[in-house]
Every structure is written in structure tokens, then in C-alpha cells.
Amino acid sequence: MLIYKIFRPAEWAELQSEGATPGAPVDRADGYVHFSTADQVAGTLAKHFAGEEGLTLLACETDALANDLRWEASRGGQDFPHLYRALRIGDVLWSRPIEYGPDGHKLPDLT
């Protein structure tokens, strides 16, 4: 199963240059990297990234993260995937820009 992480430009640049990252400021504060499922990612984008440009969507496979991934209740009581270690560049299956225009964000194809 694919899960998704949204990064701002500096966060994505850090992962690319360093090869690993503890994530965005919220991830660092909470002690794990927040991910969303395909059904949750649009809500995450709207709630936490409204009006932001230059975002990148990353996809990771849950099977590859299984030992360090926990599903925990969060927004609206839904279970969200949380990674309890640094996100590594090798964990990323693909990355795609999230378009932003007059109508807001447009998520890329999630497959």
C-alpha cells in the first residue's frame, strides 16, 4: 500500500541532500514522520498546507516501512501512518510536484 508525505521545498531539499530527514518541524516535535493514505492526503493538504506553493508529494510503500510504521488515531479518529525513524531517500518510490493555481492545490496522480 502506498502512503504519502507532503514536503515544503526546504524539507524536500534536505532529504535529497542529506539522504535522510526526521521530517518537517511538526514531525520533529512529535517524534515521528506523519504520513497520509490516499483517502487522507487531500484533507492533510487542505488543513496543513493551504496557500503554500512549491510543495512535493512523496510516495512510500508500507511494506518497506513495516517495522517502523505504526497506525495511530489522529484527525477525526482516523488511523494515520506514522514512521518512527528518519525518512530515508531510499524509502521514496516517487516524488511529484503539487500544482498550485487560482483554484488552489491539485494533487498529482497517486498511483
Whichever domain contains 92, its CATH number is: 3.20.170.20
The model carries a pTM of 0.95
Question: Count of domains in the chain?
Answer: 1
**Does a structural domain hold residue 30?**
yes
**Structural domain includes residue 111:** no
State which residues form the domain around 76. 2-103
In this predicted model, what pLDDT tens digit does every residue of 22-54 receive, in sequence order?
A: 999 999 999 999 999 999 999 999 999 999 999
Residue 48 counted as domain residue: yes
83 phi/psi in degrees, rounded to 5: -100, 120
Residue 109: inside a domain: no
| Residues contacting residue 111 through CB under 8 Å, at least 6 positions apart | 2
Q: If we measure between CA atoms, which residue out of 87, 77, 101 comes closest to residue 34?
A: 87
Domain assignment of residue 22, yes or no: yes
Whether residue 66 lies inside any domain: the answer is: yes
User: Which pLDDT band holds residue 4 (cuts at 50, 70, 90)?
Assistant: very high
**What average pLDDT does the segment 52-71 reach?**
97
